[in-house]
Amino acid sequence: MRQRFRTKRRENLVGMRLAILVLLLLTVVVGVRGAELKRQQAANEARIEELTLSISSEEKRSDEIAQFTKKTQTRGYIEQVAREKLGLVYPGEIIFEKDN
């Protein structure tokens, strides 16, 4: 009977040690994975901030392009470009050139 008691006790100790080992391994795995996820979260947050800045920059650029488009469609701008770059004048208009 004593031997039977010792055998069961040893089996219980072996089982407890295995259970503890499994729990330790699970703790290590969860800890490592948690650290990886924290690093990934930090990288994602940095990327979100970068993209937010990029969006605001592109929105500003889009506004500038819209303003330039409105400006280039005015009669005054068209006349200015026609005079300065193309050398065009209205019929009957007299051009005075300044000597340098």
Contact between 89 and 95 (Cβ < 8 Å): yes
pLDDT bin (cut points 50, 70, 90) of residue 100 is low
How does pLDDT run across 18-29, given as a tens digit for each residue? 999 999 999 999
Q: What integer is the mean pLDDT of 54-69?
A: 97
| pTM flag (> 0.75) | no
pLDDT bin (cut points 50, 70, 90) of residue 99 is confident
7 versus 33: which is more confidently predicted?
33
Closest listed residue to residue 65, CA positions, set 76, 57, 77: 57
Tokens coding 89:
């004048």
User: Distance between CA 36 and CA 41 in Å, rounded?
Assistant: 9
> How high is the pLDDT of residue 31?
97
